[in-house]
Amino acid sequence: MTLHWNQDEISNLSNTFDVVIASDCTFFKEFHKDLARTVQCLLKNVGSSEAIFFSPKRGDSLDKFLEEIKETGLHFSVTEYYDAEIWKRHQGFMKGDHDWPGYVKDHCYPVLVRVTR
Residue 26 near residue 76 (C-beta atoms within 8 A): no
Strand ranges across the sheet with 75-79: 19-23, 50-55, 111-116, 75-79
| pTM listed for this prediction | 0.93
How much is the pLDDT for 82?
A: 98
Q: What is the spatial distance between Cα 68 and Cα 49, in angstroms, rounded to a whole number? A: 18
Residues of the chain with pLDDT under 50: none
